[in-house]
Amino acid sequence: MRTLEGKVALVTGGSRGIGRAIALRLAEEGANVAFTYNASHDKAAEVVAEIESHGRKALAIRADSADPAAVTNAVETTASAFSGLNVLVNNAGVWVTGEIGDVTVEDIDRVLAIHVRAVFVAATAAARHLPEGGRIITIGSNLAERVPGPGLSLYAASKAAVLGMTRGIARDLGPRGITAVVVQPGSTSTDMNPGDGPHADDQRALSPLGRFADAAEIAATVAHLAGDAGRFITGTAITVDGGTNA
């Protein structure tokens, strides 16, 4: 049974990695899916074709999540094109590392703009369209709760902010029957953090399972939260990190 039959979802940063896996899984579950991308039109076109292969409607929207107007426009475009919105997945992200003294003010501004401000802006815009039963799901990181090494202060701070924000959003929108949850992946094999990268062995050593997640495993958690089974989960984080933070 398709758990999202007839629903509309928007995934930010949906052309690759975890975002792509989420967009495809939501389509498999029956949703019509819009997603944003920033650079690669070819990759976006591939995702559109894959979503349509599941018999669902797809829409690729070029938008830089660092631009608040572009984020709002993506939400409005989705709601207009598909006559509504049921699920917002805030996934767009950047990987910026560096120890204190090496991170620049420009780094700080860009990371917070994409990881924090864009989430707030998208949630604000989505709240105007989400009906009872609507979902706001944000991809955070297990680094929000445990930082295992140097150079991660800025990234961890931005993801910790998302958790606090989500708890507040859950309180604000709960009376309308709308939930808000953070999914916190651990090391997941993507272009941004490949499972065969130079630091992969160190990351695997932190997990009791001794491996990276597949992006499809993160997408499965998002699909659970987006469907009927997730209707009583709100104001919290679900960590999917193979036990790294245990």
Q: Residue holding tokens 């630091």? A: 199
Distance from first CA to last CA of the chain, Å, rounded? 34
What's the rounded Cα separation, in Å, for the pair 34 and 210? 34
What's the rounded Cα separation, in Å, for the pair 168 and 172? 6
Whether 155 is catalytic is yes
Helix (H) or strand (E) holding 180: strand 179-185
Residue from 155, 178, 184, 221 carrying the catalytic annotation: 155
DSSP string, 106-140: HHHHHHHIIIIIHHHHHHHHHHTT--TT-EEEEE-
Sheet holding 87-90, edge to edge: 58-62, 32-37, 8-11, 87-90, 135-139, 179-185, 236-240
Helix (H) or strand (E) holding 236: strand 236-240
Active site members: 155
